[in-house]
């Protein structure tokens, strides 16, 4: 008995195997537009950038670098919509500080002042607001940054996930520091400051009620001090990125495409903690695409690589720093992984969000 009566049958005609219709362009926002991949980039490039205009925006860095009165200021903003509000190793309050501080740090700036906008959902307990605020204040003190201004809005019940936070920050870029992907040249060494995929899996473990046998704590941290230490060895770093949404894969792809160089990484050298690898194996996710909150990727001239790696490893937030690959002339704009067995594969920019596989 058939439950699909109008399809070819009963005998299978493999010569006539056919396929589905094309997917239409999406007329509405989907979650993938915020996933840090191709859809996010298209949203910015096709809607926001043309509408806003401006040369500074065209830098498309984690922070904009502005010339003001002879000084170079770094300026950045980010919004935090994490669910749940508290997770192993941190909270939305920590994220709201560290995320913006790190965006500034990736331009070489030490964050000085933050703004903080709270969007609260009607009904959220004031105790929760207090705990988030205290976490935010503590993270700011740790990062040596001052919350200088703020704003509060309340939305009706059902119109938010308890608390959303937006922070913006400014910092000073030291003289001689010029971090942008266009400076990357073939031969540059690619360094990551430690284990990847930790934050994303930590949040997933509590958000989805998944238990992976061991508790995985977020690596959420402010990286200003680590960047200072790296710049003290040499101001001639070429580019820094914190691989947040879209993970290491998205950060490397953005740099490869903006710089016009190829990137080769050695898959076995990419530090993935066993707990993260196991969680990803269970869910069918790739750690390369999982978000991080306390890690950075650096493209460093080869002659400075040992010195930079040395100071990174001497810093508590870079103790597990490791060289994972290099920029190359071949395959411009593309990231390629040498697999553990000796093959190669392209490491693509994600389309939207990663989705757990069915089996």
Partner 1 sequence: MKYIDEFQDPELARRLLDDIHATVTRPWALMEVCGGQTHSIIRHGIDQLLPDKIELIHGPGCPVCVTPLEVIDKALEIASRPEVIFCSFGDMLRVPGTGRDLFQVRGEGGDVRVVYSPLDALRIAQQNPDREVVFFGIGFETTAPPNAMTVHQARKLGIPNFSMLVSHVRVPPAIEAIMSSPSCRVQGFLAAGHVCSVMGMGEYPELAERFRVPIVVTGFEPLDILEGVRRTVRQLERGEHTVDNAYARAVRAEGNPAARAMLEDVFDVTDRAWRGIGVIPQSGWRLAPKYRAYDAEHRFSVEGIRTQEPAECRSGEVLQGLLKPHECEAFGTLCTPRTPLGATMVSSEGACAAYYLYRRLDMPAAKAQEATPVV
Residues that bind partner 1 (CB under 8 A): 1-10, 12-24, 26-32, 38, 41, 45, 208, 210, 253-254, 257, 268, 274, 277-278, 281, 283-284, 331, 333-334, 336, 339-346, 348-349, 351-352, 355-359
Shortest Å distance, C-beta 234 to partner 1: 29
Shortest Å distance, C-beta 49 to partner 1: 12
Shortest Å distance, C-beta 213 to partner 1: 11
**What is the spatial distance between Cα 143 and Cα 139, in angstroms, rounded to a whole number?**
6
Q: What is the DSSP letter of 107?
A: T
Shortest Å distance, C-beta 280 to partner 1: 10
Nearer to partner 1 by Cβ, of 177 and 275: the residue is 275
Nearer to partner 1 by Cβ, of 1 and 175: the residue is 1
Nearer to partner 1 by Cβ, of 118 and 299: the residue is 299
Contact indicator for 148, 79 with CB cutoff of 8 Å? no
Shortest Å distance, C-beta 275 to partner 1: 9
Nearer to partner 1 by Cβ, of 316 and 342: the residue is 342
Three-class SS state of 146 = strand
Nearest to 283 by CA among 195, 207, 343: 207
Three-class SS state of 78 = strand
* CA angle (198 as vertex; 38, 270 as ends), nearest 5: 75
Nearer to partner 1 by Cβ, of 27 and 54: the residue is 27
Omega before 84 within 30 of 0, i.e. cis: yes
**What is the spatial distance between Cα 291 and Cα 36, in angstroms, rounded to a whole number?**
10
Nearest to 169 by CA among 241, 113, 116, 117: 113
Nearer to partner 1 by Cβ, of 179 and 347: the residue is 347
Shortest Å distance, C-beta 190 to partner 1: 18
Contact indicator for 123, 100 with CB cutoff of 8 Å? no
φ/ψ (deg, to 5) at 80? -125, 120
Which residues share a beta bridge with 146? 113
Strands 322-328 and 344-347: unpaired
Shortest Å distance, C-beta 15 to partner 1: 6
**What is the spatial distance between Cα 24 and Cα 76, in angstroms, rounded to a whole number?**
34
* CA angle (255 as vertex; 169, 191 as ends), nearest 5: 85
DSSP 45-73: IIIIHHHH--TTGGG-SSSEEEEETTEEE
Nearer to partner 1 by Cβ, of 11 and 175: the residue is 11
Shortest Å distance, C-beta 117 to partner 1: 25
Nearer to partner 1 by Cβ, of 236 and 269: the residue is 269
Shortest Å distance, C-beta 86 to partner 1: 21
Nearer to partner 1 by Cβ, of 150 and 284: the residue is 284
């Amino acid at each position: 008995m058939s439950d699909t009566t109008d399809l070819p049958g009963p005998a299978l005609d493999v010569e006539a195997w056919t396929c589905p219709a094309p997917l239409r362009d999406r007329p509405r926002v989907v979650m993938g537009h915020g996933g840090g991949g191709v859809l996010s980039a298209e949203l910015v490039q096709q809607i926001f950038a043309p509408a806003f205009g401006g040369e500074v925006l065209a830098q498309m860095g984690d922070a904009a670098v502005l010339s003001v009165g002879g000084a170079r200021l770094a300026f950045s903003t980010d919004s935090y919509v994490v669910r749940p509000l508290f997770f192993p190793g941190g909270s939305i309050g920590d994220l709201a500080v560290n995320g913006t501080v790190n965006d500034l740090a990736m331009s070489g700036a030490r964050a000085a002042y933050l703004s903080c906008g709270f969007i609260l959902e009607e009904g959220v307990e004031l105790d929760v607001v207090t705990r988030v605020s205290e976490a935010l204040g503590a993270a700011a003190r740790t990062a040596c940054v001052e919350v200088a201004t703020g704003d509060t809005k309340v939305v009706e019940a059902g119109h938010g996930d308890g608390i959303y936070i937006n922070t913006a920050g400014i910092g000073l870029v030291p003289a001689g520091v010029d971090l942008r992907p266009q400076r990357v040249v073939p031969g540059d060494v690619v360094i990551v400051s430690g284990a990847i995929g930790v934050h994303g899996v930590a949040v997933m473990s509590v958000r989805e009620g998944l238990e992976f046998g061991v508790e995985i704590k977020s690596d959420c941290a402010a990286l200003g001090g680590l960047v200072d230490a790296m710049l003290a060895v040499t101001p001639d770093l070429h580019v820094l990125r914190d691989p947040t949404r879209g993970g290491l894969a998205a950060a490397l792809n953005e740099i490869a495409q903006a710089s016009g160089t190829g990137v080769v990484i050695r898959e076995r050298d990419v530090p993935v903690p066993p707990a993260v690898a196991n969680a990803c194996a269970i869910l069918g996710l790739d750690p390369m695409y999982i978000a991080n909150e306390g890690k950075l990727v650096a493209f460093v001239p080869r002659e400075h690589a040992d010195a930079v790696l040395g100071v990174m490893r001497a810093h508590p937030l870079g103790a597990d720093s490791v060289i994972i690959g290099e920029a190359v002339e071949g395959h411009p704009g593309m990231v390629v992984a040498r697999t553990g067995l000796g093959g190669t594969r392209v490491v693509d920019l994600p389309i939207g969000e990663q989705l757990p596989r069915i089996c």
